[in-house]
Amino acid sequence: MMALLPIRTFGDPVLRQRAAEVTEIDGKIARLCDDMFVTMYDAPGVGLAAPQVGILKRLFVYDIGDGPEVMVNPVIAETDGELEFEEGCLSIPGMHIPIVRAERVHVTGRNLDGNDVDFEADDLFGRVVLHELDHLDGVLMLDRLDPDTRKQVMRELRRMADLAAEIEPVTPVTPGAPVTQAASKPAFGLG
Ligand code: ZN
């Protein structure tokens, strides 16, 4: 059974830790990836790193329109260029910020079959790879901002959190009562 996993959000300490190498790509890892895909597509996002669902392992899933892919133990071999690109993050819902990163990345790692993968990525793909790789090191897109912009964004995050707390409906759950689901979903996020 595939399951929707809760996505950890900003403030959760798990997002600030370095994830450990995957030592064995087994059935447990495959099931985790299945659940991560379900969670990513539901969000919706184009990428999702294991720490975002509370698992400190070095892997992420993505789909930039060419089908689902898994990257295990990814390592950046080389980067070049520089590109500003508006990013969202499923762990920082509602925030879209222009972030400067390398334009191209050459990355190596393994896929879910345990085979070596080695490719270059640019544009949206490059951005997804760099964004998700940061999650494996406990780094968030906010950390890529200059100090002044970061301060502004943090203020906005606090304002949004206060607003969310105010409008949070306090509904007592009565057995048999129809369950209403919150309609708010994070906007399109990289992962
Ligand atoms: Zn993210």
Q: How far is the CA of 176 from the centre of ligand 1 (A)?
A: 37
Q: How far is the CA of 71 from the centre of ligand 1 (A)?
A: 15
Q: Which residues pair with 79 in a beta bridge?
A: 105
Examine residue 178 and state whether it is found in any structural domain, yes or no: no
Q: Which pLDDT value is given to residue 90?
A: 97
Question: Which tens digit of pLDDT belongs to each residue from 161-180?
Answer: 888 888 866 555 555 544 44
Closest C-alpha to 141, from 93, 75, 105:
93
Cβ-proximal residues to 110 (8 Å cutoff; 6+ apart), any chain: 22, 25, 71, 72, 73, 116, 117
Distance (Å, rounded) from C-alpha 83 to C-alpha 155? 25
Residue the block writes with tokens 């892919």: 69
Examine residue 78 and state whether it is found in any structural domain, yes or no: yes
Ion ligand 1: residue ranges with CB closer than 5 A: 89, 191
Q: How far is the CA of 116 from the centre of ligand 1 (A)?
A: 25
Examine residue 184 and state whether it is found in any structural domain, yes or no: no
CATH number of the CATH domain containing 22: 3.90.45.10
What domain range includes position 97? 13-167
- Which residues carry out catalysis? 132
Note the pTM of the prediction, 2 decimals. Answer: 0.86
Examine residue 8 and state whether it is found in any structural domain, yes or no: no
Residues 67-74 have a mean pLDDT of: 98
Examine residue 76 and state whether it is found in any structural domain, yes or no: yes
Examine residue 7 and state whether it is found in any structural domain, yes or no: no
